Amino acid sequence: MSEAVCPVARSLDVLGDPWTLLVLREVFSGNRRFDGIKAGLGITDTVLSNRLQRLVDEGLLDRSPYGGTVRPRVEYVLTEAGEDTLPVLHALARWGRRHTTSPVRGGGILLVECLECGQPSESADWCTTCVAPLNRDRTGWRRASEPEKLIALATA
């Protein structure tokens, strides 16, 4: 628990590590299991274990058991606090598109799309076309690596 008075400082105490936000991005896009997150990020077991435990401890993820009779298996599910990071991820994606250069030509893009009207949005939390909130139920992502594939966050 952060002791900082400033809410920005407290937020950074929880979300300030880059791996933390990338893990949340993976979980939002439907990648909820350790091995899948590891493969999606190219992260080491130790770093991923530490970040997942921290996200659980901070109340952004819950561990949910599934299958596995020999050793218990879990997947990670967003909590309400975890869901509330969606506009943060959108704002970072927008800022990154506008102010950084991808090392891959035409790559490194994460487009935020409103599922209500099917249009891309330049806002972190509202559709700029139909003015619907961009919560998990109304948001889709398109990655540069697979622009034809829409990841509907509500079903991911």
What token pair was written down for 84? 């509330």
Last residue of a domain, one of 33, 65, 83: 83
pLDDT at 112: 92
96 vs 1, 52, 90, 102, 135, CA distance in Å?
29, 24, 10, 9, 20
Looking at the structure, do residues 91 and 79 belong to the same domain, yes or no? no
Query: Based on the structure, what is the number of domains in the chain?
Result: 2
Range of the domain at 51: 7-83
Mean pLDDT by 10 residues, the chain (156 residues): 84 93 95 95 96 97 85 91 95 88 70 93 91 93 85 84
pLDDT at 110: 84
Looking at the structure, do residues 96 and 79 belong to the same domain, yes or no? no
Looking at the structure, do residues 25 and 62 belong to the same domain, yes or no? yes
Residue 151's DSSP bridge partners are 141
pTM of the model: 0.89
pLDDT at 58: 96
pLDDT at 147: 82
pLDDT at 143: 83
Distance CA 149, CA 142 (A): 6
Looking at the structure, do residues 96 and 139 belong to the same domain, yes or no? yes
pLDDT at 154: 79
